[in-house]
């Protein structure tokens, strides 16, 4: 069998794009990996993505694998399709603003410095997406697209709004797998709305969907993801 060909160019999760304090945000990391696969892509995270570390991307046909310098497997990814079941119905901007005011992460957040949804991130630094729940269990948050908007950032924006529909404040979850399609990138300053919902939940795993809508309610991006609950040690510390 021929050896897998390395992808030209290092993949690095810069320190700004953390999820947990010492590892990369799952959505951002998946978006970086998707750049090597092409859109849309299905990315599975197999170990915490290290920050500020050059990661090797190796190809094996349509499959790619991402490794740390010590050859720890971080992610596997392949092209995929993302169907309509990943499209969560939209809400108006004002309803998203009202839902966001009820964001449970304001009072209980497992990763308060998360690039996407951390309330401790300064405006202009993190995305500060605060998805609150609607009466039907969906989440919604408003989002003004930043000046540095990109397809990778769209993956990040799709991440946490889906996860918070599970109840992350009660038990910490992290992203385990994400399949996403970015159909268009909003203009800087465009007023978008992101919605999320839980599709199914069993044991430590939850399948969620999320959707980014543009100002004209166009579907800009969609994702289907698997979130995994962290085990908690007897002392109450996530493991």
5-6 and 56-60 beta bridge pairing: antiparallel
Nearest to 211 by CA among 150, 159, 151: 159
Q: Is the pLDDT of residue 233 over 60?
A: no
pLDDT at residue 6, as a whole number: 46
Nearest to 41 by CA among 84, 76, 85: 76
d(CA 128, CA 188): 16
What is residue 178's three-state secondary structure? Answer: strand
**Whole-structure pTM over 0.95, yes or no?**
no
- Sequence-separated (6 or more) residues with CB below 8 Å from residue 230: 110, 171, 172, 173, 174, 238, 239
Calculate the dihedral angle through the C-alpha atoms of 232, 104, 50, 10, rounding to the nearest 10 degrees.
150
pLDDT tier at 9, thresholds 50, 70, 90? low
Q: What letter does residue 207 receive in the DSSP assignment?
A: E
73-79 and 219-229 beta bridge pairing: unpaired
Each residue's pLDDT tens digit, 20-41: 999 999 999 999 999 988 889 9
Q: Is the pLDDT of residue 235 over 90?
A: no
Each residue's pLDDT tens digit, 53-99: 999 999 888 899 999 999 999 999 999 999 998 999 999 999 999 99
Which tokens in the block code for residue 175?
A: 């992203």
| 173 within 8 A of 116, measured Cβ to Cβ | no
Which tokens in the block code for residue 154?
A: 């769209």
User: In Å, how far from its chain's centre is CA 14?
Assistant: 16
pLDDT at residue 10, as a whole number: 73
Q: Is the pLDDT of residue 136 over 80?
A: yes
pLDDT tier at 231, thresholds 50, 70, 90? confident
Give every strand in the sheet of 173-182, ordered side by side: 5-6, 56-60, 63-67, 73-79, 41-45, 173-182, 219-229, 205-213, 191-202, 139-144, 132-133
pLDDT at residue 3, as a whole number: 43
Q: Is the pLDDT of residue 157 over 90?
A: yes
| 68 within 8 A of 55, measured Cβ to Cβ | yes
Q: Is the pLDDT of residue 4 over 60?
A: no
Q: If phi over 0 gives left and psi between -120 and 50 gives alpha, with beta otherwise, what is residue 128? A: left
d(CA 212, CA 221): 5
41-45 and 73-79 beta bridge pairing: antiparallel
């Amino acid at each position: 069998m021929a050896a897998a060909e390395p992808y030209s160019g290092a993949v690095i999760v810069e320190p700004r794009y953390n999820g947990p304090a010492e590892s990369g945000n799952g959505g951002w990391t998946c978006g970086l990996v998707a750049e090597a696969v092409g859109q849309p892509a299905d990315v599975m995270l197999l170990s915490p993505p290290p920050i500020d570390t050059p990661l090797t991307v190796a190809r094996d046909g349509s499959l790619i694998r991402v490794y740390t310098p010590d050859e720890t497997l971080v992610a596997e990814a392949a092209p995929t399709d993302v169907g309509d079941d990943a499209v969560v119905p939209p809400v108006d901007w004002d309803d998203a603003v009202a839902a966001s005011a009820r964001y449970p992460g304001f009072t209980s957040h497992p990763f308060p410095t998360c690039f996407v949804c951390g309330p401790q991130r300064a405006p202009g630094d993190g995305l500060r997406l605060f998805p609150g729940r609607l009466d039907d269990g969906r989440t919604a948050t408003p989002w003004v697209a930043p000046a540095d908007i990109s397809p990778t950032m769209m993956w990040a924006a799709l991440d946490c709004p889906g996860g918070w529909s599970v109840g992350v404040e009660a038990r910490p979850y992290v992203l385990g797998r994400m399949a996403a399609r970015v159909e268009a990138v909003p203009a800087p300053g465009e007023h978008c709305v992101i919605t999320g919902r839980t599709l199914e939940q069993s044991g430590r795993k939850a399948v969620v969907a999320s959707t980014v809508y543009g100002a004209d309610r166009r579907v800009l991006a969609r994702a289907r993801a698997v979130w995994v609950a962290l085990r908690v040690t007897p002392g109450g510390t996530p493991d």
